[in-house]
Amino acid sequence: MRMIRVALVDDQALFRAGIRMMIDSQPDLEVVAEAGDGQEALTVIAATRPDVVLMDIRMPVMDGLAATAAVLSDPTYGDTPPRIVMLTTFDLDEAAANAIRQGASGFLLKDADPEFLLAAIRTVHAGSAVIAASATRELFAHFSGAATTVPAPAEFATLTDREREIFALAARGLSNGEIAAREFLSEATVKTHISRVLAKLGLRDRVQLVVFAFEHGLTSDR
């Protein structure tokens, strides 16, 4: 069994120690690096190449937002940069919204249940986002009221009518099961449509789909 390698980035040593103990107790997870600020994080992430990074947002020297942007834009990681999960104290955190825009795989509250945090690490490593699309929608609805939207790229026009319908429902935070029930489709069919939509738009997951919808003014509540 291949271990999932995790890096912890937080300026509170006691918090890191607690998370490390919890992660290291799992047979499939291991902490390979720790850092107390964003600048140190860049060094240890480059040296250890973790699969998943738990990144605090508010830290001295360099905050988690700047560190996330630096890691995800670093060409040395190629097509496989580490998955980054932001750690935040607040449900509606504008910095978390900005991090997701930059490509973070989601966010977790620092007081999340231990089992949820462990499941989140595994989920992110498997290629999915760790917050529900509905939570992303709430986050962006809260912070994008005055934001200006930009026209949708040409790729959006390549979606079929059915794919646009599925896109609109997914952008509203509906799960595959909810979309399937509403559209009288199987969940497998919905999953196929979602995969095609993501591929055509160059998006990684449903969280990025919700972000895309908000940025391009495609969040109709019809």
3-state secondary structure string, 17-34? Answer: HHHHHHHHCCCCEEEEEE
Contact partners, residue 106, CB within 8 Å, separation at least 6:
85, 86, 100, 120, 124, 129, 130, 131, 136, 207
How far from chain centre, in Å, is Cα 98? 11
pLDDT in the model for residue 163:
93
- Full-model pTM: 0.66
Q: How many residues does the chain have?
A: 222
Distance CA 82, CA 46 (A): 10
pLDDT in the model for residue 146:
45
Kindly report, residue by residue over 38-47, the tens digit of the pLDDT. Answer: 999 999 999 9
pLDDT in the model for residue 138:
60
- Low-confidence residues of the chain: pLDDT under 70: 90-97, 128-149, 219-222
pLDDT in the model for residue 215:
74
Range list of H helices, the chain: 13-24, 38-48, 64-72, 94-102, 114-125, 133-143, 161-171, 176-183, 187-201, 206-215
Pairing label, strands 83-88, 52-56: parallel
pLDDT in the model for residue 42:
93
